[in-house]
Structure 1
Amino acid sequence: MELRGEVIQRAYAGSWKAHRLPDKPYIIERINRNGLSEVIITFPGSGAVKDWYSQRNFGETKIDLNLFPSLRSIGKDEPALVNEAFSKRFQDILLARHSLADEVEKAMDKKKQIVFAGHSSGGPMAILATLWTLEKYRPPNSHGGIPPLCVTFGSPLIGNHIFSHATRRENWSSYFFHYVMRYDIVPRILFAPVSSLDQSFEQISQSFNPRSRSFMSESAGGSTAISDFYFTIMSNAATVTSHAASKLMGSTDTTLETLENFIPLSPYRPFGTYFFCTGNGKSGKKIVITNPNAVLQLLFFSAQLSTEAEAAQVPYRSLREHTIYGTELQQIATHNVVHLNQQQLQNLALSEDDAGGSNDLGLSLRARLCLRAAAELEARKCENEKKLNEKRSFIEQKLTKDLGEYREMWAHRRVGFYDGFSEHKKAEDFKANVTRLEIAGVWDEIIEKLRSYELPDEFEAKKEWINLGTRCRELVEPLDIANYYRHGRHYEDDASSYMVKGRPKRYRYPQRWLEHAERRPQQPTSTSCFWAEVEELRYKTGNGDASYRDVEERVVNLVAQIEEWSKKGELAKDVFLEGSTLVKWLKTLRLPHKQQPFIRRLIGE
């Protein structure tokens, strides 16, 4: 996606105006001309420490999944981390008397293009507003509205690697455009813990505090404080990016783990499209890059000193460049844009002489090697997915031919395949068990790669894998459950039940994929694993009065769920055969449970 130059400049002008009106949570500009209908909503920044850091070292906290349900790792069910101060400030804006929600709804209903924008710490507000809108107005709730865009200028980072992963998985990262001047220190601030900045943050932040007389002045804080501020942040940035680069390059050095245990590392990572502005006036270039790992490396390497003589100049420049985005955006021509896409990153010249416009950021040999490594990681992820796609046909064949025929065999004998496999007396049962283990091997490989982020971020949202995961759960998981209880693994205690101890991630992950794709609430029990609850309750209700009373509520809930699935046709017919484990158990229930019409029909009473 591309933004028109006029919109970028209006977005920055609005962000500047918002700084001048810090008491307003946001300001709005509406554009209606030449057939265009746009709403630009901009947010002011803040220089107060409390608006940047909470009490923790880096001020991170778990994202509020009620507002941002997609910002998590689906399979691992791990929420993204977000800057707590930014998150709280945005929620205050959302709840303010002049409702942002109402303004967004009006624009979406009229199918206007919304552009959220912010300079400095106004940027995180624009980011969160955009993500909130994408969550609330995603299809089918969008009613044909145009997805919002976000433009930030010199914005600090806001979330961790899961934050970045989730936006790419949802195909949202293309809506975010971040402009960063080469030496601007503000986008790098959160690489440093608040404890390392002592009092210098409070002093120097006055240069980007709209309420301060020193606003947009690089003189705030004094030369020593500014120099210490710059080098402290860049020292922390060096630690973070060096650690990340070692992982990119596949280092097996155990000192990396030791480093993580003893030195707190910033969790914040970039996402979206970054425009690095070289700051050379009319001849300056914009380096455009979307690879988040490459952006992380550029945030460090592009701000490095070229000579020792710059040591006294760059700290001041790092503050001054935070104030000149408006001037720089006017001077940069559209043809002075260098796009570093995947292929160009992989083939990035290692020699400065051959680097061309891509080296206007003064990148060292190590910097270019790190950028290449970031591209190689993406290439490895794609190659891993390609190999798994080749195995997908193997799984589909095993499901259709081997297990499909196995299920039909038991259907002809008027026995459910769950109960047939539980008996495990026939040669066909042994073959089905071998197939179960073969399929499990492939899925375990997939899950391990997902856990270590060795697959493209979009993988868990791909329909073909969601569908295949659902088929595997429906056909293979009942066999896993039957095998688990056939070997009596549940007799020790409650913690030994299949759902607590025995259910593999190869079923948990795809169930969450489906629930997320269909916007369903997470369910503890699904049509593929309800047999485990049947087995548990069958054991408990047959174990005396005390045990029966303990699980009465679970019995009621399970029967209600099975009835609902039955009405929707989501359970196979063999589940309800007269001799099935389910029907046999229902016959043992006590009154009044057994008097329910649904149960009476099943047991023939």
Structure 2
Amino acid sequence: MDTEASSFETSEMLGTFLASTPLLKEAWRLCGTANAMGCGAFAAEQVGGVGYVAFSGVQEMPVLGWDPNYGMLVPLDVAGRGLFAPLKCRYDDEEPVMVHSGMLHLFLQYHSRPDFQSQIHSLVAETKSIVITGHSIGGSIAFLTALRLLTYLISIFPPISVFCIGFGSPFLGNESLSQAILRERWGGSFCNVVSTRDIMPRLSLHQSLVPTPQWQAIIRFWYTSMMSMNFANLQLTEEDKARLFSSVAADMECLAQAVEGSGGRLFWPFGNYLFCSDEGAICLDNAVSVRKMMHLMLRTGSPNCIIEEHLKYGWYVERLSLQSLKRSFLEGDLSESSYEASLSMALNSLGTYRQVSIAPMAKDCLKMARRMGRAPNLNAADLAIRLSKITPYRAEIEWYKACCDKSEEQRGYYDSFKQRGASKREFKINMNRYKLGAFWDKVIHLMDGKELPHDLHRRSKWVNAAQSYMLLVEPLDIAEYYRSGMHLKKGHYISNGRERRYEIFDRWWTERVVTEKLSNRRTRYAGLTQDTRFWARVEEAKEWLDNIKRQSDPRNLAFLWDGLIKFETYAMNLVEGREVSADVVAKNSSFSLWLKEWRALKTQIIPQSMPLV
């Protein structure tokens, strides 16, 4: 099975597509126009049904002198002024999504300009596709602009496609940003065209690069010249070039060796990287492989080419367009497996086949990309099989619910399980509850370990399965929680006892429902109560009702009265909208008994005697 398919098949398809269309040529042409317009400029054009926006690589430093915080990562949800709402942490223990402070500052300057806003709104209104591009620093600004557009266009119908191309652009954000983009399924919207020997895409400006004041001066001089494209005045000595080159190479080696999951405050690649060499090109989309390849390919360069390579993208684009990623096999490839032949093609395209010391490592890097790319999908396929095997457990619980609903006791599903005796039937249902919970905890564990596809929470099969499980089983979890007296030890279920998996599944369902058209009003009761926390709210209301009878403090009385009124309103809205299962309104259910007692109490209390709330 290991030799059946190439790991970089999908990314190669993207590379082939880009090389065979006018996208790269048009994007680079407009980048040249923007660069020629000077500092802080942007160019916008419409070609057919496609709108192009290019940012100049000539930019002004946000502050005079060298700000030590300029290249630092800052939280996007705070510094981004709420413009990138979907790109936020999903869990409390996640590292925050962070971006380069200087690049974000430059983007926000553009975003506040009326001429820029006018051009963007015009393209959104008049085109079906928008291509955002930029060279050097302009590419990083383009990435942020594309992220903002993708965020904004979520609510637009019909949808408008957004594609972003950077040429030699430096890293923008941390690993959390990369993960968030993958979760939103936006990874395919970004491509960074990188020369195998250009140091600019590898220049993260992290403080680890500037350990001494003298070295800070060299970095500042280099970076300022790159920002202004003023290479005529870039008079670095051979020694300075060598030190700059070796320092960037050392930083890339540290990044390449970093363990995935430890990059909360390290710069991290995202999207696709189209690596270009004199021999051809190859496209990779696995972040770990990208950063290792960034390190390996830099070792084929030299300090003397640090300027030339950054200006060579027009030549690469022209060559790629003419060759359309020309395929050439090494001698002996025809006798190898298709996978080995694909590896040979890739190494040939990068020009590494002549580098005896680098070729084996580059080959291992591509193989690693294949393993890392396949493993999440294989894990998801295995889970899908296991999901089918636990179907009988769900079926038995559904049968149990149907029996409870038809019972002459008229207690319903929730109260029957909560008040159960020591019968074999209830014991088996309880064991099924545990088995289903263990399966879904395993799913969450694999997701936490990044061992499943990043967009699993957007796949209908898993979203629907998780929601169905939650609707069926969480009422039983609530019943067990109050049956065992855990509320007396830990507090009420919603705030103190709810399993993490249910919080996660709530988010999955909410994100899915937002993009779908709501159905018509129900004409009969739902098969399962749609608010899975309903019974926990009933238990809390029952406690309030008991407390209000014994309460004498006016303030506490007002609080309890207000809470009971709000719960009744909430519950009756669900009942009238048929958003609850029929067992909720069963004659002897906890809710029906509570409602009867509450309404009797309301008639006994003189409203005027209640404190104002």
More deviation in 193-202 or 325-334? 193-202
- Per-residue CA deviation, residues 17-37 of structure 1 (Å, 9 max, x unaligned), is 323334555221222xxxx33
Distance 1:60 1:451, change over 3 A: same
Which residue in the other structure is 2:254 paired with? Answer: 239
Which residue in the other structure is 2:221 paired with? Answer: 203
Structural mapping, 1:313-328, within 5 Å: 314-328=302-316
Which residue in the other structure is 2:97 paired with? Answer: 80
CA positional deviation for 1:474: 0.6
Counterpart secondary structure, 2:289:
helix
Please tell me the root mean square deviation across aligned C-alpha atoms, in Å.
3.5
Structural mapping, 1:445-464, within 5 Å: 445-464=442-461
Distance 1:353 1:74, change over 3 A: closer
- Per-residue CA deviation, residues 249-306 of structure 1 (Å, 9 max, x unaligned), is xxxxxxxx9xx6xxx885322222221111x2xxx3111222222212111111014x
Task: Tell me, in whole angstroms, the C-alpha distance in 2 between the residues paired with 1:134 and 1:152.
Answer: 16
| Paired residue type of 1:317 | C
CA positional deviation for 1:513: 0.6
Counterpart secondary structure, 2:75:
strand
CA positional deviation for 1:116: 0.6
Task: Tell me, in whole angstroms, the C-alpha distance in 2 between the residues paired with 1:25 and 1:437.
Answer: 61
Task: Tell me, in whole angstroms, the C-alpha distance in 2 between the residues paired with 1:345 and 1:460.
Answer: 36
Task: Tell me, in whole angstroms, the C-alpha distance in 2 between the residues paired with 1:90 and 1:218.
Answer: 27
| Paired residue type of 1:118 | G
Distance 1:5 1:471, change over 3 A: closer
Q: Does the 8 Å contact 1:154/1:187 carry over to 2?
A: yes
Task: Tell me, in whole angstroms, the C-alpha distance in 2 between the residues paired with 1:76 and 1:475.
Answer: 27
1:357 equivalenced with 2:356 (yes/no): no
Counterpart secondary structure, 1:8:
helix
CA positional deviation for 1:542: 2.3
Which residue in the other structure is 2:61 paired with? Answer: 48
Which residue in the other structure is 1:97 paired with? Answer: 114
Which residue in the other structure is 1:416 paired with? Answer: 412
1:11 equivalenced with 2:27 (yes/no): yes
| Paired residue type of 1:271 | F
Determine which of 472, 480, 483 is the counterpart of 2:480: 483
Q: Does the 8 Å contact 1:164/1:271 carry over to 2?
A: yes
In the alignment, structure 1 segments of 5+ residues that lack a partner are 248-256, 596-605
Which residue in the other structure is 1:601 paired with? Answer: none
CA positional deviation for 1:149: 1.5
Counterpart secondary structure, 2:266:
coil
- Per-residue CA deviation, residues 376-407 of structure 1 (Å, 9 max, x unaligned), is 122221221111000121343322x2111111
More deviation in 57-66 or 443-452? 57-66
Task: Tell me, in whole angstroms, the C-alpha distance in 2 between the residues paired with 1:98 and 1:345.
Answer: 55
- Per-residue CA deviation, residues 358-386 of structure 1 (Å, 9 max, x unaligned), is 55484342343233223212222122111
Task: Tell me, in whole angstroms, the C-alpha distance in 1 between the residues paired with 2:160 and 2:283.
Answer: 24
Which residue in the other structure is 1:163 paired with? Answer: 177
Q: Does the 8 Å contact 1:81/1:159 carry over to 2?
A: yes
Q: Does the 8 Å contact 1:415/1:580 carry over to 2?
A: yes
Task: Tell me, in whole angstroms, the C-alpha distance in 2 between the residues paired with 1:567 and 1:87.
Answer: 49
Task: Tell me, in whole angstroms, the C-alpha distance in 1 between the residues paired with 2:174 and 2:337.
Answer: 23
Task: Tell me, in whole angstroms, the C-alpha distance in 2 between the residues paired with 1:93 and 1:551.
Answer: 52
Q: Does the 8 Å contact 1:22/1:44 carry over to 2?
A: yes
Which residue in the other structure is 2:431 paired with? Answer: 434
CA positional deviation for 1:419: 0.8
| Paired residue type of 1:208 | M
Which residue in the other structure is 1:527 paired with? Answer: 531
Which residue in the other structure is 2:524 paired with? Answer: none
- Per-residue CA deviation, residues 168-206 of structure 1 (Å, 9 max, x unaligned), is 333322222210011111111127336546333221112
In the alignment, structure 2 segments of 5+ residues that lack a partner are 1-13, 329-335, 517-528, 605-613
1:583 equivalenced with 2:592 (yes/no): yes
TM-score (norm 2): 0.80
Determine which of 325, 328, 344 is the counterpart of 1:336: 325
Distance 1:204 1:559, change over 3 A: farther
1:562 equivalenced with 2:575 (yes/no): no
Which residue in the other structure is 1:291 paired with? Answer: 286
| Paired residue type of 2:103 | F
Task: Tell me, in whole angstroms, the C-alpha distance in 2 between the residues paired with 1:160 and 1:393.
Answer: 37
CA positional deviation for 1:503: 1.4
Distance 1:471 1:350, change over 3 A: closer
Q: Does the 8 Å contact 2:281/2:350 carry over to 1?
A: no
1:269 equivalenced with 2:268 (yes/no): yes
Determine which of 509, 518, 533 is the counterpart of 2:513: 518
Q: Does the 8 Å contact 1:116/1:148 carry over to 2?
A: yes
Task: Tell me, in whole angstroms, the C-alpha distance in 2 between the residues paired with 1:169 and 1:163.
Answer: 10
Counterpart secondary structure, 2:438:
helix
Determine which of 189, 206, 209 is the counterpart of 1:192: 206
Counterpart secondary structure, 1:267:
coil
Distance 1:439 1:348, change over 3 A: same
- Per-residue CA deviation, residues 501-533 of structure 1 (Å, 9 max, x unaligned), is 321122111111111122389xxx970123223
Which residue in the other structure is 2:240 paired with? Answer: 225
CA positional deviation for 1:585: 2.9
CA positional deviation for 1:416: 1.7
Task: Tell me, in whole angstroms, the C-alpha distance in 2 between the residues paired with 1:86 and 1:566.
Answer: 52
CA positional deviation for 1:209: 1.5
- Per-residue CA deviation, residues 55-112 of structure 1 (Å, 9 max, x unaligned), is 2873232345943333245467955332233233323322222242x43333233334
Task: Tell me, in whole angstroms, the C-alpha distance in 2 between the residues paired with 1:221 and 1:593.
Answer: 85
TM-score (norm 1): 0.81
Determine which of 501, 505, 509 is the counterpart of 2:500: 505
Q: Does the 8 Å contact 1:565/1:571 carry over to 2?
A: yes
Task: Tell me, in whole angstroms, the C-alpha distance in 2 between the residues paired with 1:408 and 1:43.
Answer: 63
Which residue in the other structure is 1:469 paired with? Answer: 466
Q: Does the 8 Å contact 1:116/1:129 carry over to 2?
A: yes
More deviation in 229-238 or 22-31? 22-31
Larger radius of gyration: 2
| Paired residue type of 1:385 | A
Aligned residue-pair number: 549
Counterpart secondary structure, 2:166:
strand
Determine which of 385, 389, 392 is the counterpart of 1:390: 385
| Paired residue type of 1:581 | S
More deviation in 451-460 or 143-152? 143-152
Determine which of 184, 190, 193 is the counterpart of 1:179: 193
Task: Tell me, in whole angstroms, the C-alpha distance in 2 between the residues paired with 1:573 and 1:54.
Answer: 64
Which residue in the other structure is 2:5 paired with? Answer: none
Q: Does the 8 Å contact 1:347/1:372 carry over to 2?
A: no
Task: Tell me, in whole angstroms, the C-alpha distance in 1 between the residues paired with 2:569 and 2:294.
Answer: 55
Which residue in the other structure is 1:598 paired with? Answer: none
Q: Does the 8 Å contact 1:270/1:296 carry over to 2?
A: yes
Distance 1:430 1:58, change over 3 A: same
CA positional deviation for 1:423: 0.5
CA positional deviation for 1:166: 3.2
Q: Does the 8 Å contact 1:272/1:290 carry over to 2?
A: yes
| Paired residue type of 1:533 | R
Structural mapping, 1:306-317, within 5 Å: 314-317=302-305
Task: Tell me, in whole angstroms, the C-alpha distance in 2 between the residues paired with 1:573 and 1:459.
Answer: 33
Counterpart secondary structure, 1:275:
strand
